[in-house]
Amino acid sequence: MEDTYLVQRLRKAPQSEFLAKAEQVFGGGMLGLGAEAWKILQAIFSIDYMGAAEYEFGTIPRVIKGMAEDAANLRAFQVVISAKDVEPNWARGRPARTAKGKPRKKQPVIPPISDRTVYVLARESQRAEIPAKLRLLASNKQRLKCGSRFPEALDPVEERDSEVCGWLELTNGFFFFLDQDMWQKTTRLLTGREDATLIAAPAPA
């Protein structure tokens, strides 16, 4: 596999028709997705605007189409990311503030970083290398075109840290999620099979 460079952020599916249309118009017009493709994908996830041409002009549909055409070789599996491999959220060192901008007298207790399960959909040939790639992303040691917000999602301190809960790795072509429902629906979409019929065991560490 090539070094990961392009990672598309994914959020939960739009909660209304208005939000779905807004995503398509503002920031989504250059993605190269047709109306039917938008409808299918937005039933599962929302595509975050990345602000760079490398993510546009048909890159996303090309990668997804390639995975769908290789459906027989796709596998759904889990990878456990150890807490020690996660870069701590920068907000841990920032005091919570009042509405007036002053530090609160009583600061909230932030739980420690914990091990997290990541749900992956990838080709069988990629399976052995993916855990190491995810650890690099979790530790923020992989150079990317645009930030993935994967470390923040693994160590959420503020509410917005959990907004991004899925990713499409565009360099090699695989999905990974912190949201199990998004993973299962994406697996069914691209393979026509339930994830339980694929590989349920964790990938090798």
The boundaries of the domain holding residue 12 are 7-88+113-197
SS3 assignment, position 72: helix
Q: Percent helix, strand, coil in the chain (nearest 5)?
A: 40, 20, 45
Q: Is residue 172, in this structure, part of any structural domain at all?
A: yes
- Which among 173, 73, 75, 172 is positioned nearest to 120, based on CA atoms? 75
Q: Is residue 186, in this structure, part of any structural domain at all?
A: yes
Cα–Cα separations (whole angstroms), residue 71 to 51, 76, 121, 188 = 30, 11, 10, 10
Q: Is residue 27, in this structure, part of any structural domain at all?
A: yes
Q: Is residue 178, in this structure, part of any structural domain at all?
A: yes
The count of other CB atoms within 10 Å of the CB of residue 107 is 10
More confident residue, 195 or 112: 112
pLDDT tens-place string over residues 48-62: 988 888 888 889 889
Q: Is residue 203, in this structure, part of any structural domain at all?
A: no
How many structural domains are present in the chain?
1
Q: Is residue 105, in this structure, part of any structural domain at all?
A: no
**Does pLDDT of 200 surpass 50?**
no
pLDDT tens-place string over residues 138-179: 999 999 999 999 999 999 998 899 999 999 999 999 999 999
Q: Is residue 93, in this structure, part of any structural domain at all?
A: no
Return the percentage of the chain with pLDDT > 70, whole number.
83
| Whole-angstrom distance, CA of residue 18 vs CA of residue 23 | 9
| Whole-angstrom distance, CA of residue 204 vs CA of residue 186 | 22
Question: What letter would DSSP give residue 97?
Answer: B
Cα–Cα separations (whole angstroms), residue 165 to 85, 200, 202 = 18, 20, 19
Q: Is residue 79, in this structure, part of any structural domain at all?
A: yes
